[in-house]
Each structure stands twice: as structure tokens, then as C-alpha cells.
Homo-oligomer: A and B are copies of this chain.
Amino acid sequence: MAKKIATQSSVALDTLAIGIDIGGTGTKFGIVDRNGNVLFSSEISTRGHEEVESFIEELYNSLYPMIERAGGPGRMRGIGVGAPNGNYYTGTVEYAPNLPWKGIIPLAKLIQNKFQLATVLTNDANAAAIGEMMYGAAKGMKDFIMITLGTGVGSGIVANGQLILGHDGFAGELGHTITIPNGRFHPGTGKYGSLESYASATGVTKTAIEMLEKSTEPSLLRDIPKEQLDSKKVYEAAIAGDELAKEIFDYTGKILGMALANFVMFSSPESIILFGGLTKAGDLILKPTREAMEQNLIQIFQNKVKILISHLKESDAAILGASALVWEIKD
């Protein structure tokens, strides 16, 4: 009888999860229920903290009152953290070029000690993939690839219903796969021709500059000073009917599609889920991407793989993804 009452009370006071998404500029965090409702959320600056200790301090001062409002730490299942170069196995962030803290940072441990709550950490794109699987476009899928097309290109790969982490926790760096041998230089990695150097917001800007220099084709983009060009302006020009701007997305989509074909021939996913700024260009980029993917796939893979756009609210997705890790914490 006592057991039954306990069960009922735990149903009444549903357990919650905390999600923290650490980006180069800002850190978003929130408290999420099992159904993926973000009950509370807020944001602090990442960039403003040269020392990770002062970052943890501000995070605690902003997040702890939120935890209390949501029912106190006893109601929290734990904390999930998504961070660039985050390693699930070690809970560390290692040599993240876009974060202010250098070297290997034991971030999960620092957060766990401060909050006294079980903390798991993985890279931001892996967290996003788990979020999509629990609440988003990949619900019910056991094999899919999540690609984030933002300033950079991130990825999270799920096969047999599990995240592929690799022997060291660093699997899924698809943005760094070489797509054009001896191609465009990537200043962040020192490598040539990676997917990220083309199919990111940064890549689109570079393509725009290259195309404007190479051709004499008239374009709305010629009115914009080179240093002010960005993927959003290319998008606006394309929407306004600018042919050169359309060619920029076409070129980007062709390279992205070829890379996606390679990923499909690796893990044969049911779908590829795209997320992030570049997806706002819609069919301008998706059409050439789909075409190039199909064109490079061998027959057994053709016309099978869905390219889907994440339908999670962008402001919630990062928090949802990070919080989703928490439900996998074992007691």
C-alpha cells in the first residue's frame, strides 16, 4: 500500500530536467518536463567570462532561483549540457575554438559540484539529435543524422536508436569531412575542402565574395560592402530574384548534397534532419541539395532518405536537446 502511494505522489510531482546549451556567444538554459515543455528559460553571456569559474558562478546565480521556482532541486532529475567539443565519456570540453576557455575543461564536474545535481554533457549537435529523437522530427526513428547548418556545420548521428559516440566520444564531426579535396582553406582547422568551409553561414559568405570577384554578372550583392556581406543578405537578394544570389545557394546545395550522399552510404539513415540558419533559405538550398544527394547515391539508396527541416522552435531546441540527455541518466 505504501508503495502505491509513493507511485502516485511521484506522478503528481513530475520529475523535471535542466538543459544548458553553451554557445560561443551566449548560454541558454531552461527547465523542461518529460513532454518537452520548456517551463522556464533564460540566457547569460558566455563570451563575457574569460575564466570558467566566473561563468559557473553567474550560471548558478541565474539558474538556481529558477530551480527553486520550479519546485526545488529535489524535483530535478539532473542537468544536461550541450557544448562545442563536449565529450560524453569524460564530461570535458576539449580545445573548443569558439569558447573563451582554453585546453581541457572538466565542465560536467564543475557544474555537478556547484549544483549538486547529476550532470551529463555532450557536444551541442549530439544534444540536438537527442532532442529531435525525443520531441522533434526524428520521433520514433532509430536511424537518422542531424546536421546543424549555422556559423559552422555540426552533426549528431543516431544508429540502432543510439548516439554514435565513437571509442573516444568524438564521433560525428561531419562538418570536417573533406568534400572537395584540396578545396577551400578552413582557418579554424587548417584543413582544405571540408564541408563546413562551404555549407555554413561563413561558407556561404565566402562563396558570395568569390563569385562576385570571379564574374561580372550584375547583382544586388554588389551594392553591399564586402565586409558586410553575410548569408542573410545573400538570402534576401535571392528572394528578391537576384540570379547570382540564387547561384550561391545552388553551389552550396550541390556540395552539401554530395556530402549527404556519402553520409547516407555510411549509416543508411531513414532521414537527415537539418537545423539552423541556412535552412531558412528553404528550397533555394534544399532543392539543389536533394538533387545532388540523389545523383551521388547508388541505386539501393535512391529515393528513400527524407531530408527534413527541424520544426522545433529555435529558441527552445538547444535547451530541449541538452535537457533530453538527462532522461538517459541511470540511477
Contacts and interface: CB of A to CB of B under 8 A. Distances in A.
Q: Contact residue range for chain A?
A: 35 or more
Interface in A178-220: 178-181, 189, 191
Which of A94, A169, A173, A191: most chain B Cβ within 10 A? A173
Nearest to A166: B268
How many protomers of this protein does the assembly include?
Answer: 2
B178 A258 contact: yes
A262 B166 contact: no
A266 B298 contact: no
Contacts of A268: 164-173
B300 A266 contact: no
Given A173-B298, A189-B298, A300-B95, A261 B164 contact: no
A191 B267 contact: no
Interface of A: 85, 94-95, 141-143, 157, 159-160, 162, 164-174, 176-181, 189, 191, 258, 261-263, 265-270, 296, 298-301, 304
B170 A159 contact: no
A181 B257 CA distance: 12
Given A171-B268, A174-B266, A181-B180, A143 B160 contact: no
